[in-house]
Structure 1
Amino acid sequence: MEMADLCAAAVNSKERKVLATVLCVDGHAYRKEGASMLLGEQGSIWGSISPGCLESDLLAWAEMVLRSGKIQRVPYDMRPEDDLSWGENIGCGGLLHIVLEPVTGTLEQVMHEMHIRFLESERVMLTRRYKWDSGTVEYELGAAADVQKNSPWPEVYSRAYEPKPRLIIVGAGEDAVPVCRLAAGAGFRVTVADWRKALLTAERFPGAELVCGFPAELFALLHIRSGDYVLLMSHQFQREKEFLALLQGTACAYLGIMGSRDRTARLTEELALPAALYSPVGLAIGADGPEEIAVSIAAELIAVRRGKQLGLPKGGARYERSRISARGRTQLADGL
C-alpha cells in the first residue's frame, strides 16, 4: 500500500490507528526509507514495512502508543545472525529506525486533507517536526523543510507523496476484468468506462470507479490529466475512433490500444495523439488468453510508471515497442 491507500484507510475506518514510518535504513531491508503502514487497535493492518516479521511486534508497540498518545521510536537491528536476535533468521539484514505516531488530532486531520488531495491527483509534501523529548510532533503540508540526513532520528523530516496514478479502461468486456484487478493490485486507481451500462457493475469491477456514457460524454466526465493512463479495449472500432478523436491534444502518461497493428493504424490515421502510444498493448511475453494478456498489460503499466526500458532480459531478442505515427505507420525492430 502507498500513502494514498493509508490515507483512505485512515478516513474510512473508525478503528483507532497508529502510523508506522521507516525514517532510516542502514543495510538491506524489505521496504526502504519513507515506507509507511497503519496498525489498528483491534489488530488490523494496512500496508507493510517488512515481509511479515515485524508486524506482530509493532502491534504491541502500537497499543502502548495509543494508550500514551505519544510518538515512539522503535529500532530493529536485523544485522546479527545469532538466534537470539532478529537477524538473518527472519529474512532481512538491515537496521531500521521506525517511528510510531498516533493517528489522532492533527495527524488525523492531515491525513484527511491528504486523502482529498490525492483524489484530485495532487502531489503532497508533508513535513514533520519531531519533539523526541516530549513525544510529540508538528505537521505541515506544503513546502519541504531542510532534512537532517545525518541522523537516524531527525528532528525534521520532509517527504513528498505521490497520488496513485489513474488507469482509465475504456471497455468493460470480460477481458477488462483481470486487467482491472491486476492494475488495482499494482497500485493504480482504476476507472472503467463504457457505454454499455449492464457491464458496469461493482461485482465485476470491485473497487473501481464506474463511468457510463458514449465517447463524447465519457471524455467530458473523465477530465483526463497528464498523469493518467488510458487503455482502449472495448473492441468496438467506431466508438474507439470517436474517443481517440476527442483525445487529440490531450497529454497522458500512457495510451494503450488493444488489437493488431493494422487495426491501430486505421484507428489513429490522421489523428494527432499523445506520444506515449503503445500498441499492441502488453509486454511481449507470449501471453495467451485473458489472464496472461492482463499480466502482460499490468507489467507494461508498471514498467512505464517506473520509467523502465521495455523489453526482454539481456541475452534474448529485444522487442522495441512499436510506435504508431500520426498517419498510422508502425515500426518494429528486433535485435540482440
Structure 2
Amino acid sequence: MLELASALLDRLARGRRAAVITVTRVARSAPRGLGASMAVTDKGEVVGSISGGCVEGDAVVLAHAVLADGVARTATFGFDDRTAHAAGLACGGRVDVIAYEVRASDPVAMRALERAADARAATAGIVLEGADRGRIVASRDLGPASSAAFDAAALLAETRVVGRPAVLAVSSAPRPRLILAGATEHAAALCRVGAAAGFAVTVVDPWELLVTRERFPDADDLVVALPHEHLARLPESAVDARTAVCVLTHDARLDVPAIRQALALPIGFVGALGARATVARRAELLRAEGVSDADLARLHAPLGLDLGGSAPEETAVAILAEILAARHGGTGAPLRERTGPLHRDRPAAEAACAAPPRNTAVTRGS
C-alpha cells in the first residue's frame, strides 16, 4: 500500500474512491513479494502491480467488488504447476491477497500515506481476518504482543504478518544511504550503480574540483569536506543499519580517519578499497588510533566480491554486490550452487547486517 502513496493521495484528493490489493502470502515462487500492491479506482484507473501483469485482470475484478459494497475480500491466485502457469505465476507459485478500500476519511491510512509520500518512515497494519478484515490500523490499535511484533517489523522497515487476529505490517522507509568517501573514478562508477539500486548517494571529498555534478550526476548530495569531518557531523537520524560507507580515497591521511569515524557510527556496512598490503598497513594505523579488533573485524577490506573484473564499473558492481550480500545475508555464491528456496527469510537476513550501537569513545568533529 505504502509503495503507492503518492498515486493514492492524488486520486483520493480528486475525489476518487480506491481499492488496494496487497499480497499477504507467497508460496514457492512469484514475480513480486509480500506486501506488493496495486490500486484500482472507481473510475477504472489501475496503479501498480502484484504479479508483473499476469493476474492483474482477476485482481481488478476483486477490487471492483470491494468498491461496490465496501467489504474487504481475500483471494488466492495459482494452485499447482498447471494452474499457476495459466495465471502467470512461475514454478507453481501461489499468492494470497487481500482487497480493501482506502478512504480519505481514515486518519490512520492518510497519515501513513502522507509520511510515505514525503519519503519519511511510515508504518501501517492491514487486518487480514475477523470482523475488522481490511481495516488499516496503527501499532497502538493492537494488543501488547502484536504491537511489539508490529514495531519490530517497522524498525527493520520490512513487511511481515504479526499477531492474532493476523495483521500484515507494512513499512516504508527513506532510501538507504550510500556514502562515498573520495571523488575517484571508482566512486563515479559506484555512484551510478548505487543510485540505480535504490540508494541515496552522498559523495564527499575535500577537493572541490572533483566534487562536481558533471562527474556525479546521480548523486543526491555532493559535499566538499574532509570525509571524517562530514561523518562526524551526521546526526544519528541520518544513518541507520541500512547505511553503507565506502572509503575510496587511496590516501591514508584521508581514509584512516574516515574509517575510524565510520566504524564509530551505528551503520551496517563499512568498506575500504586497497591492496592486501595497504589493508594490513591501514589496520595497524587504525589500531594505533584506538580502533579495537572487534571493530576492525567489521571492516570490509579489501572491498568487493571476487568477480574478476578490474575496470571502475566492474569494481563498482563487485562492491555493490558485497553491500547487498551483507545487507540481505547472502553468500555471493552462484544460485545454481544453492539448494532450497531462492529467497531468504528477511528477519534473518537483516540480523546478518545489524549495526552496532554508537561508539561514544570517538569525539564528533575529530
TM-score by length of 1: 0.68
Question: What does 1:235-250 correspond to in 2, within 5 Å?
Answer: 235-247=250-262, 249-250=264-265
**Rounded Cα–Cα distance in structure 2 between residues aligned with 1:287 and 1:244:** 25
**Rounded Cα–Cα distance in structure 2 between residues aligned with 1:49 and 1:193:** 39
| Letter in structure 2 aligned against 1:215 | P
- Structure 1 residues 276 and 94: CA distance shift in structure 2, 3 A: same
1:59, distance to aligned residue in structure 2 (A): 5.2
Q: Secondary structure at the match of 1:240?
A: helix
**Rounded Cα–Cα distance in structure 2 between residues aligned with 1:280 and 1:305:** 17
| Letter in structure 2 aligned against 1:263 | T
- Structure 1 residues 11 and 76: CA distance shift in structure 2, 3 A: closer
Establish whether residue 277 from structure 1 lines up as the match of residue 292 from structure 2. Answer: no
- Residue 90 of structure 1 is matched in structure 2 by 88
Contact 1:232/1:240 (8 A) holds in 2: yes
- Structure 1 residues 298 and 55: CA distance shift in structure 2, 3 A: farther
User: Which structure: greater strand fraction?
Assistant: 1
**Rounded Cα–Cα distance in structure 1 between residues aligned with 2:46 and 2:205:** 36
- Structure 1 residues 314 and 80: CA distance shift in structure 2, 3 A: closer
1:13, distance to aligned residue in structure 2 (A): 6.7
- Structure 1 unaligned runs (5+)? 316-336
Contact 1:27/1:95 (8 A) holds in 2: yes
Q: Secondary structure at the match of 1:256?
A: strand
Contact 1:168/1:230 (8 A) holds in 2: yes
Question: What does 1:174-185 correspond to in 2, within 5 Å?
Answer: 174-185=185-196
| Letter in structure 1 aligned against 2:51 | S
Q: Secondary structure at the match of 2:50?
A: coil
- Structure 2 unaligned runs (5+)? 13-17, 150-160, 338-366
| Letter in structure 2 aligned against 1:241 | V
Identity in percent: 23
**Rounded Cα–Cα distance in structure 2 between residues aligned with 1:211 and 1:141:** 38
Over residues 15-53 of structure 1, what are the superposed CA-to-partner deviations in whole Å (9 max), with x where a residue is unaligned?
456543212334543344x3323447585745x532432
Residue number among 6, 9, 12 corresponding to 1:10 in the alignment: 6
1:98, distance to aligned residue in structure 2 (A): 1.0
- Residue 135 of structure 2 is matched in structure 1 by 137
- Structure 1 residues 19 and 67: CA distance shift in structure 2, 3 A: closer
Establish whether residue 234 from structure 1 lines up as the match of residue 236 from structure 2. Answer: no
Residue number among 166, 169, 178 corresponding to 1:156 in the alignment: 166
- Structure 1 residues 27 and 236: CA distance shift in structure 2, 3 A: closer
| Letter in structure 1 aligned against 2:259 | L
Aligned residues: 297
1:73, distance to aligned residue in structure 2 (A): 2.8
Establish whether residue 22 from structure 1 lines up as the match of residue 20 from structure 2. Answer: no
User: Which structure: greater helix fraction?
Assistant: 2
Establish whether residue 265 from structure 1 lines up as the match of residue 277 from structure 2. Answer: no
| Letter in structure 2 aligned against 1:98 | V
**Rounded Cα–Cα distance in structure 2 between residues aligned with 1:172 and 1:40:** 45
Contact 1:80/1:88 (8 A) holds in 2: no
Contact 2:20/2:40 (8 A) holds in 1: no
- Structure 1 residues 193 and 72: CA distance shift in structure 2, 3 A: farther
- Residue 300 of structure 1 is matched in structure 2 by 322
- Residue 349 of structure 2 is matched in structure 1 by none
- Residue 78 of structure 2 is matched in structure 1 by 78
1:234, distance to aligned residue in structure 2 (A): 3.3
